[in-house]
Structure 1
C-alpha cells in the first residue's frame, strides 16, 4: 500500500515508506527505465516532466519557499536499491550538506 500524491498517464508519485525527512516523495515514470545511466535521449522529455512534477509537489507540500532537494540515485554505490529510475523529493526541515 502506498500513499499516492500524484499520478497521470506517464508518472506516479507517492510518499516514501521509509522517509528521510517530513516530506519525502518518490516520483516514478510508468515506463520502465532501469537507471539514469540507461536513459535514452528519447526519454529526456519524460525526465523533464518528472522534475516539473517534483516542483509542483514541492509547492503542494509547502516546501517550495524554504527549499528542498531532488535526488536521483544511480547504481549500487550511488544508493539505488530499486532497478527503476525514480526521483526523491525531500524537504520539510533543514537538510544537511552531506550527500553520502
Structure 2
C-alpha cells in the first residue's frame, strides 16, 4: 500500500482526485478508476477492494485518531457508519494503551 501511495504521488503529484486508486484517465478528474482496471491486477491476490477500503479507513483512524467526523469527511460516510468505523481503531488504541501500562 505504501509503495502504491509513493508511486501515485510521484506519477500524479498535483492531482485533485481523492480516490485511492486512480489511472491515466482519472488522474485529471475526480472520478474513480474503472472496476475492470482495479479488479484485473488484484485477481488471484490476497488483497481485495474491500480489504483495501477497510485497511485505508483503519489506517486513517489510527493516524488521525478515531474521530467519526473526520472519517465521515474524508471518506464521505454518513454519521452512523463513521461512528461504527471509529469503534474498531478506538478499541485497538485502548488495548495498546492498556498493554503499555503493564
TM range (shorter): 0.3 to 0.5
Higher fraction of helix = 2
TM-score of the two chains, using structure 2 as the length reference: 0.32
Higher fraction of strand = 1
Larger radius of gyration: 2
